[in-house]
């Protein structure tokens, strides 16, 4: 067992080759764990090697770590806030975009809960699938948030054009999923660039509403909700290690 085998987040891999090797080793571990009793040979320092027989057990939901439930709570709150805003004004373009962003934050967050709950190994295919769900949720979240700040409180782009913002991010996801990007880190650069565009659109809205206190107040609430969502999502990456999860 290598140190990297216990890494719970595939996104830290620097190259697709490294990621493929990581998933292949997880598949090998998963096959061993599903093959009955496991004989482990180990040694400590200069002591002679010893062999221990381990019987893999099915994990009960009660044994899941606090980090798992925290991530699920964050994702659920994002969904509920988005749904609440939509119910208040269902016919509005901005509230639809905000509701979709809450849903997509949940989609991006839930797979990470499974990453952090892993003790040794899931199948590589399962983690590949979860990673793809996480990435598509993050890509589309950025697209819908850019659209939100291009349409609220001032309309800076025609509503019919806003949905096209999802197209380049879906293309990025296809390139990401097929390992056609330059490196495994490029999806983080794409998301960071999208966040910068989102903040640029928000800054433009802030400037345009400088003499409109009602619109400025509404924009402030949207920005607050966005910052809370991003902060909670970021916390899902920081807090698990504090709870003792690698």
pLDDT by residue (tens digit) across 120-146? 667 888 888 998 998 999 899 899 989
State the average pLDDT over residues 88-113: 87
pTM of the model: 0.82
Q: pLDDT value at position 232? A: 64
Distances (CA, A) of 125 to 76, 170, 240: 25, 21, 23
Q: pLDDT value at position 233? A: 62
Give the tokens for residue 81. 């806030």
State the average pLDDT over residues 45-70: 79
Q: Is 93 exposed, middle or buried (0-12, 13-18, 19+ CB in 10 A)?
A: middle
Length of the chain: 246
What confidence category does residue 239 fall into, taking pLDDT thresholds of 50, 70 and 90? low
Give the tokens for residue 218. 């509404």
State the average pLDDT over residues 97-120: 84
Cis peptide bond N-terminal to 183, omega within 30: no
- Which of helix, strand or coil describes residue 127? helix
Mean pLDDT computed over every residue of the chain? 82
User: Could you give the maximum distance between any two Cα atoms of the chain, in Å?
Assistant: 77
pLDDT beyond 60 at 241? no
Other CB atoms within 10 A of residue 107 CB: 19
Nearest to 116 by CA among 133, 130, 100: 130
Q: pLDDT value at position 49? A: 81
pLDDT digits (tens, 9 = 90+) for 144-154: 989 988 988 88
Q: pLDDT value at position 171? A: 93
Q: pLDDT value at position 170? A: 92
- Which of helix, strand or coil describes residue 32? helix
State the average pLDDT over residues 102-108: 89
Beta strands, E only, 109-220: none
Q: pLDDT value at position 174? A: 92
| Max mean pLDDT range (26-40, 46-60, 203-217) | 203-217
Nearest to 231 by CA among 74, 11, 106: 74
The span from the CA of 82 to the CA of 61, in Å, is 28
């Amino acid at each position: 067992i290598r140190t990297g085998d216990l890494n719970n987040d595939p996104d830290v891999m620097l190259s697709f080759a490294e990621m493929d090797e990581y998933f292949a080793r997880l598949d090998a571990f998963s096959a061993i764990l599903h093959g009955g009793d496991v004989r482990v040979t180990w040694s400590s320092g200069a002591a002679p090697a010893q062999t221990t027989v381990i019987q893999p057990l099915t994990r009960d939901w009660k044994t899941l770590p606090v980090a798992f439930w925290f991530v699920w709570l964050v994702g659920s709150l994002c969904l509920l806030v988005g749904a609440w805003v939509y119910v208040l004004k269902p016919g509005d373009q901005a509230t639809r975009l905000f509701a979709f962003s809450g849903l997509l934050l949940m989609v991006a967050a839930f797979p990470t809960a499974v990453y952090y709950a892993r003790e040794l190994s899931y199948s590589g295919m399962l983690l590949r699938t979860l990673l793809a769900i996480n990435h598509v949720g993050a890509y589309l979240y950025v697209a819908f948030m850019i659209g939100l700040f291009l349409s609220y409180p001032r309309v800076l782009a025609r509503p019919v054009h806003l949905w096209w913002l999802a197209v380049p991010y879906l293309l990025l996801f296809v390139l990401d999923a097929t390992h056609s990007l330059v490196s495994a880190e490029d999806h983080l650069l794409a998301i960071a660039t999208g966040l910068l565009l989102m903040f640029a659109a928000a800054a433009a809205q802030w400037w345009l509403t400088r003499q409109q206190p009602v619109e400025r107040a509404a924009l402030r609430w949207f920005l607050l909700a966005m910052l809370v969502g991003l902060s909670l999502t970021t916390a899902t990456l920081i807090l698990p290690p504090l709870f003792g999860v690698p």
